[in-house]
Amino acid sequence: MQLTTRTAGGPVTATYWMDHAWLGTHVEPDVTVEVADGRIAGVRTGVETPPPGATVLRGLTLPGLANAHSHAFHRALRATVQVGSGTFWTWRELMYQVASRLTPDTYFDLARATYAEMALAGITSVGEFHYLHHAPGGTPYANPNAMGEALIAAAAEAGVRITLLDTAYLAAGFGEQPNRHQLRFSDTTADAWAERASLLKGDDHTLIGAAIHSVRAVPAGQLATVAQWAEERNAPLHVHLSEQTAENDACLAAHGRTPTRLLADHGVLGPRTTGIHNTHLREEDIALLGSSTTGTCMCPTTERDLADGIGPAVALQKAGSPLSLGSDSHAVIDLFEEARAMELNERLRTHIRGHWTAAALLRAASADGHAALGRPDAGVLEPGAPADLTTIALDSVRTAGPVPRLAAETAVFAASAADVRHTVVAGRHIVRDGRHALIEDVPGALAAAVAALHH
């Protein structure tokens, strides 16, 4: 038996015994994790039988997964936007219609159910890219952060951690005023955005970060205001970047440079910053992102759903940009599918197999995702890390058969969110045997919340 060094902390409050655990480099059988004060206090290997009082997690236990890019209200678009054809821009019109109907109460209901779906999918932390700030027409609510606080409360009730990435969204395009749908997104100026965002408060399960919606939505002269706000708070900063070629073309026309170069010139890039999508990049853009260690969050299921294209993830990572994953528009909520899709997209593009190992893809879905959300200590099964765990079944019709030492490959290339059996957040058992412990009927909650927005 092996016992790792214990961290300082209170008494052990929970013990979990796993018949198989992913320890970052390999699958280890018979592992016990002890929890104190919501963190991992000790990890024991070679524990052949569960200790008295331990909770047994059968299957493969991974560090909790990180969904680094979410728009919770897009969950109401599932299937609805699959009727007919079109482009990202026609999809956006349908998205605006749903956004126009949300109130703080209906947003809470939808987000609570969506975050519960994430917990059932093994996600323990979500990065919510939040720009739906005001009432229709742009009038602030009496509580100017009513919508953001609804998201924070929703995550708490669903049992997952949240990094609320409060988003500056000030313009419809380069030199264009917000359209009627975007008025409720806009604080009019970056200074006004910063004043409102500064009122938001975090807690044990909540971090407050910042986001620039895109270079088309924040005038170039105001980019530095958002970046400085994040820097002063050592907060994560996210930005949609080069998702569409039309954005690149418009930026070149307005500023004579690419969106990536524009962000670099205004101090936005850096290790606390994550570019979302990073799809249509020049070699110079890739070098700028890599040399500044700006992260890249790929959202393959959304990028393919919206016909955006396949981003240069391999080149970005080789240049020095850490990769994370997000479910973005929630066409599906399944981080295993996002990880698998990143690899399989690259295979289709290059006609070559094996760009990432299963270990590298799991890291993108966990540790690097948590780091992008401001939790660099999370996403590992080590003493001192948050006690966030995800267990998938190894005996489902998708996962049965492979030997346990290949369980990481099984997780990435065969498993789905439906195989998640347990989710633990801060040592608290949120999903047990495939059922959410805090919300009795998650499908019913989702159906009711979505129906309320389509009537």
Structure tokens at 36: 């104190």
Structure tokens at 417: 């969110």
Query: Of 46, 39, 44, which is closest to residue 14 (Cα–Cα)?
Result: 39
Structure tokens at 318: 């080789």
Query: Of 223, 155, 219, 147, which is closest to residue 185 (Cα–Cα)?
Result: 147
Using an 8 Å Cβ cutoff, are 30 and 46 in contact? yes
* Rg (alpha carbons) of the chain, rounded to whole number: 21
Taking the C-alpha atoms of residue 288 and residue 329, their distance in angstroms, rounded to an integer, is: 27
Q: Give me the amino acid identity at 360.
A: A
Give the pairing of strands 389-392 and 323-325: unpaired
Query: Of 97, 91, 7, 69, which is closest to residue 43 (Cα–Cα)?
Result: 7
Residue 149 vs residues 66, 263, 375: alpha-carbon distances, Å: 21, 29, 20
Taking the C-alpha atoms of residue 431 and residue 55, their distance in angstroms, rounded to an integer, is: 13
Consecutive H or E run containing 119: helix 104-120
| Phi–psi pair at 209, nearest 5 degrees | -125, -170
Query: Of 145, 156, 155, 248, which is closest to residue 201 (Cα–Cα)?
Result: 145
Q: What residues act catalytically?
A: 277, 328
Query: Of 269, 38, 72, which is closest to residue 162 (Cα–Cα)?
Result: 72
Taking the C-alpha atoms of residue 301 and residue 289, their distance in angstroms, rounded to an integer, is: 23
